[in-house]
Amino acid sequence: MSDPSTTDGPLGLCPPSGWVKRWSHLIPPRESVLDIACGHGRHMQWLAERGHTVTGIDRSPAAIQAAASFGEAILADIENGPWPLLSGGQTRQFAAVIVTNYLWRPLFPVIAQSVAPAGLLIYETFAQGNETVGKPSRPDFLLRPAELLHTFKAMHIVAYEDGFLEQPARFVQRIVAVRPDPGQAPAPAPPRYAL
């Protein structure tokens, strides 16, 4: 696997993940997207430029200040505080949820709940094996084999990869999944992505 998203782009932002770019065409036009642990907003910028309404969450004030130029930016410590996106006691839902380079397993149920029925999850982060090439190296920050497949097994899996990327050297696991819509007949799967 290769990922060209490794050098800084305009405004000092790294370009969007190749995985996010590869699958973002499945997000319906002009829909809402949540970027969890958004950093300075590289994915918010990418998606806002494509007409989506974007929301990002991060615990860094500097990151949120930068991300605010692309959409709604929420400063919150989602590991030690309450989930900030509640409306009437319910988790706000989005047409798509993006997570990259972030792992906090207690948040998995909230991530799934944040994807609206028929919505899309695009998730990519470090996996076991990464400890042999760099950081993160602690098991708490590395996905176990097939962990994303097991965690989001109630969703329709569109794509899944687990392996080594060369630039920069890292082990990743990534998934694209659609949350079922119980109110509608199952939609046909998106066309197979040509490599």
* Structure-token pair, residue 174: 């990534």
User: 123 or 136: which carries more pLDDT confidence?
Assistant: 123
Q: Is 183 among the domain residues? A: no
Size of the chain in residues: 195
Q: Is 1 among the domain residues? A: no
CA dihedral 32, 37, 42, 45 (to 10 degrees): 20
Q: Is 187 among the domain residues? A: no
Q: Is 166 among the domain residues? A: yes
Can you tell me the distance from the alpha carbon of 41 to that of 144, in angstroms, rounded to the nearest whole number? 27
Output the pTM of the full model: 0.86
pLDDT in tens, 127-184: 988 888 889 888 888 889 999 999 999 999 999 999 898 888 888 999 999 999 887 7
CATH number at residue 75: 3.40.50.150
Q: Is 5 among the domain residues? A: no
Number of domains, the chain: 1
Q: Return the pLDDT at 82.
A: 93
